[in-house]
Structure 1
């Protein structure tokens, strides 16, 4: 069975930081992941065969996005 999800970051006021975060995370994308920037949002598409793999991937991705966002905010200061 194929399981897929899309995580969408949508905030037109913060698109520049969303793009930077997405671009900083993209090199770590696995073959089952794709990052897309379009129409005022950043979408990360993930597909896998196991729900546990999907949960682990989303968990890692969101933790890394949080860290990247914190670093970007500190650099603005």
Structure 2
């Protein structure tokens, strides 16, 4: 079974935060994982074959995004 997933990130404070967060974690993308940013909305898409891989990947991705968001908010003041 192939599971296709897209995570969309938007920031109510500023669209630039979503873009910076997405681009800062993009180097960790594995093969078949794509990041795009359009109009301040970031989308990360990937495909996996196991639900456990999906859960682990989403967990890692969201943790890294949260840390990146905190750094961006602190440095953009």
> What TM-score does the superposition give when structure 2 sets the normalisation length?
0.89
Larger relative helix fraction: 1
Larger mean CA deviation between 32-41 and 66-75 belongs to 32-41
How far apart in 1 are the matches of 2:23 and 2:2? Answer: 26
CA RMSD of aligned residues (A): 1.5
Larger mean CA deviation between 9-18 and 21-30 belongs to 9-18
Moved over 4 A (4+): none
Give the superposition deviation at 1:20.
0.7
User: Which residue of 1 is the match for residue 18 of structure 2?
Assistant: 18
Larger mean CA deviation between 7-16 and 56-65 belongs to 7-16
Alignment coverage as a number of residue pairs: 77
The runs of 5 or more residues in structure 1 that have no matched partner are none
Larger mean CA deviation between 22-31 and 33-42 belongs to 33-42
The runs of 5 or more residues in structure 2 that have no matched partner are none
What secondary structure, in the 3-state scheme, does the structure 1 residue paired with 2:37 have? strand
> What TM-score does the superposition give when structure 1 sets the normalisation length?
0.89
